[in-house]
Amino acid sequence: MRVELEPMVLNRKSTTEEREQALRRLYDWVLERQPYDAEHMALASLEKDFRTGKIGVRHFLEKLAITDLYLEQFYFPYSNLKFVELCFKHFLGRAPHDMAEVEAYAKELAQHGPRLFVKMLLDSEEYRQAFGNFGVPYPRQESCHYSPKNFQQSQLLREEAAGRRGRALPALVWQKLGLVCEAGHCHRPEPTPPRSKAPMASVAASRSEPQVAVRRSGSTEPALDAPLGSLLDELQEFLQML
């Protein structure tokens, strides 16, 4: 799915065509697809209020986020941690800054539930400053990033749908575990074999016996295996919050 990156802001004088375009962009960004015909029927009353200007973008999102359509697509199939990451993308237009931010908001989600959690994001000062009541959320380009990982996640949000990169773990977790997540599936990449050094053409080399680099079969890279246990322990601690 190609994401429109340019800001779009409606007002009370916006035409029906502009509101229709905004509606399609809202579905592309928040639902990550266009609803099916049967789903449009379930959303008919909400869409009518939006097209006629009875409600603005923020109010529309608040209503959309509590529908079975949104919750069944992004809340029930996923962990709380992943849902927090998806909501940051859908409603704030950015990736979480770090794991501490994910954990803090996951506690709010566990305490208040998904409906009040999304309302908290939409009522936040960050949302109001970024989009106001009539701005359509989009992937924001931040002026500075908290870490290289945060920069990488922000760039990915501008290029693809968040749901395509692992369906259970937030990106900050599977990256720390050294996993690769694509198309909803995660796997651990094979270790890259070390490069053998080219022989040095020198007089000193001719005086010593030739050295042969032998790789033992079945050996693994300790740099990859050593931290795996501790990272899995951290992952279990994260999942205990669900």
What value does the mean pLDDT take over residues 221-225?
Answer: 36
**For the whole model, what pTM was predicted?**
0.66
Q: Are 98 and 150 in contact (CB under 8 A)?
A: yes
What is the reported pLDDT for 189? 73
What is the reported pLDDT for 180? 64
For 12, the 3-state DSSP assignment is coil
Q: pLDDT category, 209, cuts 50, 70, 90? A: very low
CA 19 – CA 17 distance, rounded (Å): 5
CA 233 – CA 50 distance, rounded (Å): 47
**Helix/strand number for the chain, H first, E second:** 13, 4
What is the reported pLDDT for 140? 82
CA 13 – CA 33 distance, rounded (Å): 27
What is the reported pLDDT for 192? 67
Is residue 71 scored above 90 in pLDDT?
A: yes
Name the residue with tokens 């599936």. 185
Q: Are 27 and 21 in contact (CB under 8 A)?
A: no
Q: For the chain, list the domains and their CATH numbers.
A: 8-72 (no CATH), 79-187 (1.10.3130)
Is residue 119 scored above 70 in pLDDT?
A: yes
Residue-wise pLDDT tens digits, 11-23? 888 999 999 999 9
Q: pLDDT category, 196, cuts 50, 70, 90? A: low
Q: Are 89 and 162 in contact (CB under 8 A)?
A: yes
- What would the two tokens of residue 139 be? 């992937």
